[in-house]
Structure 1
Amino acid sequence: MNTNLPEPGTEERAHAEHLATLLRNEIRVNGPMPFARWMELCLYAPALGYYSAGRTKFGPAGDFVTAPELGDLFARCIARAFAPTLRALGADADFLELGGGSGAFALAALRELAAQDALPRRFLILEPSADLAARQRERIAAELPPEVAARVQWIARPPEAGWRGVLFANEVVDALPTTRFTLKDGEVFEEHVALEGERFVCIDRPADLLVANAVRHLERALGAPFDDGYRSEVLPQLPYWVQAVCGSLEAGAVLFVDYGYPRREFYLPERRDGTLVCHYRHRAHADPLHWPGLTDLTAFVDFTALAEAGVGAGLDFTGYAPQGQFLLASGLLDLVGDDLPEVLRVQRIAEVKRLTLPGDMGERFQAIAFTRGGVEALPGLRAFDLSHRL
């Protein structure tokens, strides 16, 4: 157990123990649990998972800060980048946001789209957390004009009927339940969570065919086998997930922003324990078994795999670039404003620095985009395209 982390209160302890009981019961019935299943339950178990329960997740009072929580510049810049595409697609164009967070992105984006005369017919939020959806509804109803708020709809699954518009996902792929693998005597093993008495422990078991094939695909793409003992993450389900969320898009653009690397950087030999990171009260740690339901679990994104999945789903690849370069090329500095009070101007400049500097979010976060239906979109991303790195 990580002793450098703050101790939870009585209610939080009870919450974590409730989820731990559910996890123990499933392990006792089904045997050791694949790590991907552990992560799925810890994040999304109804009423108990990290994103499903009622704790504050985002901002200073939560466990981490996302780009939309820094201020409104990130969302406004994304909205401006999408505005020409929405206008070109016409009155029936929709905007689909995957995972609405605190609602900050939707608020700022809708205000900017209204200013750009590019409001979508519907602003759809695909939000798996009932708690977060309720908070988003309350905030949007309170802070947006009724005629704009009326365009916002919440959905529980991707649209099944064909639609036109744009899809945006910020820090979503990193929260997909990931598979952890390792190599022993050249064979692929998958990390599981087991029980020793009442205590959770990680063990390795021979991988099934899906996981083994995913790892062998990585080795072929990298041109060399992984060393014994090398441990990392892979998302065998990523192609199916991208197809599920993008498959019904008939014409439009798709943009993913997340932290990660191209494949050759993701699986560097020295990164031999993977990229899994746990967040608890603004502290990062490496123990995914610590306080289940109270800790956010994420893994960096293999952007090469995301590019493969997008093309495999029938999308046209548009470009790939660091977040900072993409935002600057999309007019981020134009949003700072020259006629603001000095205090607000200083705040916005600080926000720009966090979003764009290489040592902060500027290079750690990456943007990748696709289109469908012959749509032209996101010239700011194409201006700094680094797809040769994928």
Structure 2
Amino acid sequence: MAEAAATTKLAEIILKRIRSRGDITFASFMESALYEPDLGYYTSPGRKVGAEGDFYTSMNVHSAFGRLISREIGRFWELLGCPDSFTVAEAGAGGGQLAQDILDAVSEENVGLYAVLTYRLIEKEPSLKEAQASRLERHAERLAWSSPQELADGQLKFTGCIISNELFDAMPVHLVEMTEDGLKEVFVSADASGFRERLLPPSTPELDAYLRTFDVRLMPGQRAEINLAAPTWIACAAAALERGFVLTIDYGYLSDELYTPQRRNGTLLCYHKHSTNEDPYRLVGEQDITTHINFSSLVEAGKEAGLAAVWYGEQYRFLLGVGLMEELMQLVAQAKDEHESLKHRLAIKKLMMPEGGMGDTFKVLIQAKGVQDPQLLCMRKWGMGL
């Protein structure tokens, strides 16, 4: 993992940068690999998600995923008193698939909400706006766009909810390793043959403070990822909300499970053409780099910013609570033949089943601002309070 030949244009650019300016943190390397203008994984042309891309997300499995989320969004609106202006801001909106499924469902099932709804797409890659606008053309009057910078700068203020599906796992992370001499950070260096890793003193005292905050004790030789961008993002989301909810769907754990000694090498994983590897220095800019997220960090950052954590649990618990079985029965009843019925059943199974499905790999966190003890749909029977 510590070396790789420069096989892409972006790899050559980063190597040249390191050779002229000096070693960089892994977080800086990951930022460039994913978001370098025009060349990064998420900022270059091409399909990233779905059968033609490198990985699937829940929204690619079945449109029921977005429809079920729309029902909880409807509940958010009711809990806020059915205001005459309600914003759904989707961070990391990508090609607009989730937005389409949610808007289609709201327009069909919740006419009152649809009439007052603004769906704001927040996406780092500006070229996606055209694709989003085309896909969502029939909902054009309900759409708005913002950049992540506008959210970060505090330019957005609204009542409603901020949702994300696999946003945090693609944020750049610092890599640390516990050594006999104490905590060290992974820096990316360069030699004649390509990238090299070096263990150096941490670039910021925030890394050690982060581990102390969550009482993480790494074993000698154990690596871990630290996402310092996530708490900052949560604080910005809280500032944008006058009243409302933050709904986060991603893969990860609470801190005591995330940083267990069994994860000696951390959770960093790369995706390319539906195959995985643990080498972020190959195919730089052409493969996704992800890590599991620390939900405890989102909870704590939210508390500091005025967000109360009101529900946390596995994706299958959330989906069951908001009406997955009723949705499945309706889909099966409406299927035109057994083949279509089976297709629906298999897709729903993938969304909720553990061990190979997405049901327990993905977690859902709901945080609230200005709402006392909200009774959410996901809390029904299957719910698990935090």
* TM-score normalised according to structure 2 size: 0.90
2:87–2:160 contact (8 Å) kept in structure 1: yes
For structure 1, which segment, 73-82 or 27-36, has the greater mean C-alpha deviation from structure 2 after superposition? Answer: 27-36
For structure 1, which segment, 264-273 or 196-205, has the greater mean C-alpha deviation from structure 2 after superposition? Answer: 196-205
Deviation at 1:26, TM superposition (A): 2.1
Q: Which of 37, 56, 63 does residue 28 from structure 2 map onto?
A: 37
Aligned to 2:376: 378
1:107–1:140 contact (8 Å) kept in structure 2: yes
CA distance in 1, matches of 2:52, 2:229: 33
CA distance in 2, matches of 1:154, 1:93: 15
Aligned to 1:93: 86
2:254–2:295 contact (8 Å) kept in structure 1: yes
Cα distance change, pair 70–203 in 1 and its aligned pair in 2 (3 A): same
Confirm whether residue 66 of structure 1 aligns to residue 40 of structure 2. Answer: no
CA distance in 2, matches of 1:55, 1:237: 26
Aligned to 1:216: 212
Deviation at 1:214, TM superposition (A): 1.8
Aligned to 2:177: 182
Q: Which of 115, 121, 128 does residue 125 from structure 1 map onto?
A: 121
| Structure 1 residues 287-302: aligned runs within 5 Å | 287-302=279-294
Aligned to 2:365: 368
Confirm whether residue 317 of structure 1 aligns to residue 309 of structure 2. Answer: yes
Aligned to 1:5: none
Residues 10-55 of structure 1, C-alpha deviations (whole Å, 9 max, x = no match) = xxx99x6221122123212331111111111111111111010001
Aligned to 2:229: 237
Identity score, percent: 29
For structure 1, which segment, 292-301 or 177-186, has the greater mean C-alpha deviation from structure 2 after superposition? Answer: 177-186
Q: Which amino acid aligns with 1:333?
A: M
User: Secondary structure of 2:267's partner?
Assistant: coil
User: Secondary structure of 2:266's partner?
Assistant: coil
Confirm whether residue 246 of structure 1 aligns to residue 238 of structure 2. Answer: yes
Aligned to 1:170: 165
Residues 132-180 of structure 1, C-alpha deviations (whole Å, 9 max, x = no match) = 3332222222xxx2xx222112211326242100111000011110111
Q: Which amino acid aligns with 1:361?
A: M
| Structure 1 residues 324-363: aligned runs within 5 Å | 324-336=316-328, 337=330, 338-342=333-337, 343-359=339-355, 360-363=357-360
Cα distance change, pair 71–379 in 1 and its aligned pair in 2 (3 A): closer
Residues 228-273 of structure 1, C-alpha deviations (whole Å, 9 max, x = no match) = 1110111133322211233120111111010111211111111110
CA distance in 2, matches of 1:268, 1:212: 17
Aligned to 2:102: 109
Give the superposed CA RMSD.
2.1
Confirm whether residue 276 of structure 1 aligns to residue 280 of structure 2. Answer: no
* TM-score normalised according to structure 1 size: 0.89
CA distance in 2, matches of 1:228, 1:84: 47
Q: Which amino acid aligns with 1:132?
A: L
Aligned to 1:228: 220
1:82–1:378 contact (8 Å) kept in structure 2: no
Aligned to 1:8: none
For structure 1, which segment, 371-380 or 50-59, has the greater mean C-alpha deviation from structure 2 after superposition? Answer: 371-380
Cα distance change, pair 160–211 in 1 and its aligned pair in 2 (3 A): same
Deviation at 1:379, TM superposition (A): 3.1
Q: Which of 252, 257, 261 does residue 260 from structure 1 map onto?
A: 252
Q: Which amino acid aligns with 1:98?
A: A
1:100–1:133 contact (8 Å) kept in structure 2: no
CA distance in 1, matches of 2:336, 2:285: 42
CA distance in 2, matches of 1:65, 1:234: 24
User: Secondary structure of 2:359's partner?
Assistant: helix
Deviation at 1:297, TM superposition (A): 0.4
CA distance in 2, matches of 1:161, 1:78: 23
User: Secondary structure of 1:150's partner?
Assistant: helix
Q: Which amino acid aligns with 1:301?
A: I
Deviation at 1:371, TM superposition (A): 0.7
